[in-house]
Amino acid sequence: MLNPRILLVIGGGIAAYKSCELVRLIRKQGGEVTCVLTDGGSHFVTPMTLAALSENQVHTTLWDLKNETEMGHIQLSRQADLVVVCPATADLIAKMAGGMADDLATTLLLATDKPVLAVPAMNVRMWQHPATRRNVATLRADGITVMEPDEGPMACGEYGPGRLPEPEAIWRRVDAMLTAPKPLAGRHVLVTAGPTWEPIDPVRYIANRSSGKQGFAIAAAAAEAGAQVTLVAGPVHLPTPAGVTRVDVESAREMAAAVDAALPADIAVMVAAVADWRPQSAAGVKIKKAAAGVPTLSLAENPDILAGLAASPRRPALLVGFAAETNDVIAHAREKLARKRVDMIVANDVSGDVMGGDANAVHIVRADGVTSLPEMAKGDVARALVERFADALVR
């Protein structure tokens, strides 16, 4: 992109000094930088330094009377081509994940409609803490790009992941985001995600352990690639990714109807772990314990959404199924590929903590071979898959 406009949010960590070098690199490449300095960040770098390097006014407060009479935080959030949070501290990441807006930085991050890159930097224990991992997963599910921190010695004397990447590496990611092609522009991508709940009575149901995280990440990555995305989501508590149209369902039959209503689509990615069976009939009231013992459940087969799409006259140009297996992963995926008559199966081993976890390792199974991806964060898996979906669509 020629002369990109970058909004740089500088959090309060010792690594804030590296933001000065990042400003210099962006300016050297012809970019324009506007800095937003948090209160914490001002303890490490000064507005004067950033103003001199960026040749722009540095913004520090939401309570600037002149700017806010013109809704300055809205203008700042919309005028940039890319918003970069560097360093993204544990506190700032938590506020972003929670949708807080208690200062200028968090308010404009909540108000922006532009891509956001977060570059974490913090103590290794803070980076590895479950709360931070949850918050990072939330940001990625929301469509925010989160760089992995570097590993090495830290200012606190500890060693491990949590160091801010070098400014040159951050600039390369910025440049890649600004120049990234939109291979799915003009395409409609349909994604299913999460489990289904099949009611036994008003308080009980048959379900599975699917968290929906991988499907939501694929929907977010497809939107980043320029697609119009419809996400049919089972009952999960995940935020809707930016730029995605979400349809919430509970049962397999509701999901099948929602998928049919969303057609036509260029690509359908059936990530949801749809229950194979449901109770033949659901009780209208709670089933009570009785002297007669354990009740018997008669099961009925649920609609096969993937096979139905494969046989439909409105079959998407690219139809992708998922196979969650606990053994013989690739063999089962090959069998499913042939039986369902789809173009691609993405298979993974769920015998560990994949369901509900933040990482995944998948195998892409096609009639012409198998491609295995190493274990990565689910957001990175999603982006790798979407690249392959786009390639397959134009073959």
pLDDT tens for each residue of 346-380: 999 988 766 778 889 999 999 999 999 999 889 88
Same domain, residue pair 230 and 91: no
Band of pLDDT at residue 239, cut at 50, 70 and 90:
confident
Q: Which domain holds residue 68?
A: 5-179
What integer pLDDT is reported at residue 94 of this predicted model? 97
Same domain, residue pair 138 and 12: yes
Q: Which residue, of 149, 179, 209, is where some domain finishes?
A: 179
Q: Which residue, of 142, 160, 179, is where some domain finishes?
A: 179
Return d(Cα 330, Cα 146) in angstroms, integer. 31
- The CATH code of the domain that includes 311 is 3.40.50.10300
Same domain, residue pair 14 and 111: yes
Q: How far is CA 321 from CA 22, 72, 191, 219, 301, in A?
A: 42, 46, 10, 14, 19
Same domain, residue pair 368 and 223: yes
Percent of the chain with pLDDT strictly greater than 70: 96
Band of pLDDT at residue 176, cut at 50, 70 and 90:
confident
Same domain, residue pair 12 and 37: yes
Same domain, residue pair 263 and 311: yes
Same domain, residue pair 307 and 376: yes
The single-letter code of the amino acid at 295 is: P
The pLDDT tens digits of the residues spanning 25-58 come to: 999 999 999 999 999 999 999 999 999 999 999 9
Same domain, residue pair 156 and 216: no
Same domain, residue pair 10 and 111: yes
The pLDDT tens digits of the residues spanning 278-287 come to: 999 999 999 8
Q: At what angle do helices 47-54 and 17-28 cross, to 10 degrees?
A: 10
Enumerate long-range contacts of 358-362, CB under 8 Å, 24 or more apart.
Answer: 358/133, 358/136, 358/137, 358/213, 360/214
- The CATH code of the domain that includes 126 is 3.40.50.1950
Q: Which residue, of 125, 146, 179, is where some domain finishes?
A: 179
What integer pLDDT is reported at residue 293 of this predicted model? 81
86 is catalytic: no
What integer pLDDT is reported at residue 230 of this predicted model? 98
Average pLDDT over residues 187-194: 97
List the catalytic residue out of 20, 35, 86, 156: 156
Report which of 342, 319, 345 is spatially closest to residue 332, judged by C-alpha positions: 345
Same domain, residue pair 270 and 131: no
Same domain, residue pair 216 and 320: yes
Same domain, residue pair 207 and 173: no
Question: Residue 152 — left, alpha, or beta (φ > 0 → left; ψ -120 to 50 → alpha)?
Answer: left
Strands (E), 67-127: 82-88, 116-120
What integer pLDDT is reported at residue 354 of this predicted model? 66
Average pLDDT over residues 128-150: 91
Within 8 A by CB and 6+ apart from 341, the residues are 307, 310, 311
Task: For residue 387, give the H/E element and its range.
Answer: helix 378-394
What are the backbone angles phi and psi of residue 78, rounded to the nearest 5°? -110, -20
Count of structural domains within the chain: 2
Residues in the chain, total: 395
The single-letter code of the amino acid at 213 is: K
What are the backbone angles phi and psi of residue 104, rounded to the nearest 5°? -65, -45
**313: helix, coil or strand?**
coil
- Dihedral angle, C-alpha 235, 236, 237, 238, nearest 10 °: -130
Percent of the chain with pLDDT strictly greater than 90: 75
Report which of 129, 108, 5 is spatially closest to residue 62, judged by C-alpha positions: 108
